[in-house]
Amino acid sequence: MTPDTTPPTRGPDAGHAAARRAFVALRWLLTLALTLAGLLVVTFVIGRKVPIDPVLAVVGDRASASAYAAARAQLGLDRPLAVQFILYARDVLHGDLGMSLLTSNPVLDDIRRVFPATLELATLSTLIGVLVGVPLGVIAAARHNRWIDHVARFVGLIGSSVPVFWLGLMGLLLFYAKLHWVSGPGRIDPEFDGMVDARTGSLLIDALLAGEWDVFFNALSHIALPAAILGYYSVAYLSRMTRSFMLDQLNHEYVTTARAKGVPERRVIWVHAFGNIAVPLLTVIALSYSYLLEGSVLTEIVFAWPGIGSYLTGALLNADMNAVLGSTLVIGATFIALNLLTDALYRVLDPRVR
């Protein structure tokens, strides 16, 4: 008797699963397209409604009427708004964010130059927030109404009350001017500038890859204080949210049952309770990271950090609208990308979402 080599037919359940996956992917792509389109509309409206005349920024206040009209036509501002938006969206989709009036470089090239500094600062600050804030929030919830809980709440209160620029100035006064524990403003001392090739955009990592330990420790001394300042705000936010999540979980019946069965308290806290808050905590960490990327403007100004915040501020002060809109667009796209990444990790970590 010959064996049956006919391949098994796919049942209706497999077909429904494939159709559902295709529908989810299509819905995800549609959501992404609509979100990016909304971001384009917002940046376009900002560029047209802000009380800054980009033509005057090009030709100057003393230009003649004919020169003003010629510059306006060259910039395409004499066309209907619908046409202007279509041309703007086309240029953005082709990677053309215009030329910067301040640097005379393509805005995209300027952003590629300054954004890694902000990314390095925000990443290090987030690591500080996660490594300190999350354990602090868990321990505060486990030791509810004890001294460690009061410390965590005090840290959260100060972090949500004290302005970041004031804390940065006080940090410079104490740790740089008085104690000389850290280096001053800037990303690196001038004598070390250009000693390592920019491979990853992170000066710390590039210095390690090149084996330039003097450059590494100098860069670390410069980034330590601004990263600690931003990291403190991340610690305050993450510890407060972690504490809230953990207090809610520790009041559930499964925790009481685990304790009644004699499960060690450390396992109850770090495996059972913390395991149930890991997924929502991921969203909180992503939001904190996004905030540090887009909200570190004041810190970059105080510490003269050559990131996108300083670049955006300089563009605003000089009416460089191409740089302003390009920076806003990149920051918004980064925020969208982080949300999409968080959503994907949700599906990986939590089978219920899938």
Give the separation between CA 128 and CA 105, rounded to whole angstroms.
35
The answer on pLDDT for 269 being more than 80 is yes
> In sequence order, which ranges of the chain are alpha helices (DSSP H)?
12-49, 54-59, 65-74, 81-93, 107-128, 134-142, 147-159, 164-171, 203-210, 213-250, 253-260, 265-267, 274-295, 297-302, 308-317, 321-349
* pLDDT top residue among 31 and 11: 31
Structure tokens given for 83: 């046409």
Structure tokens given for 181: 């524990």
Place of tokens 């301040």: 102
Give the separation between CA 121 and CA 306, rounded to whole angstroms.
10
The answer on pLDDT for 304 being more than 60 is yes
Q: What CA–CA distances, in Å, run from 107 to 16, 17, 98, 148, 322?
A: 47, 45, 6, 48, 7
Full set of structural domains in the chain with CATH: 31-93 (no CATH), 107-349 (1.10.3720.10)
User: How confident is residue 10, by pLDDT bands cut at 50, 70 and 90?
Assistant: low
Mean pLDDT (the chain) is 85
From the CB of residue 78, how many other CB atoms can be counted at a distance below 10 Å?
11
Encode pLDDT of 192-209 as tens digits. 888 888 888 889 999 998
**Model pLDDT, residue 317:** 82
Q: What CA–CA distances, in Å, run from 34 to 6, 27, 143, 295?
A: 46, 10, 46, 24
* pLDDT top residue among 110 and 291: 110
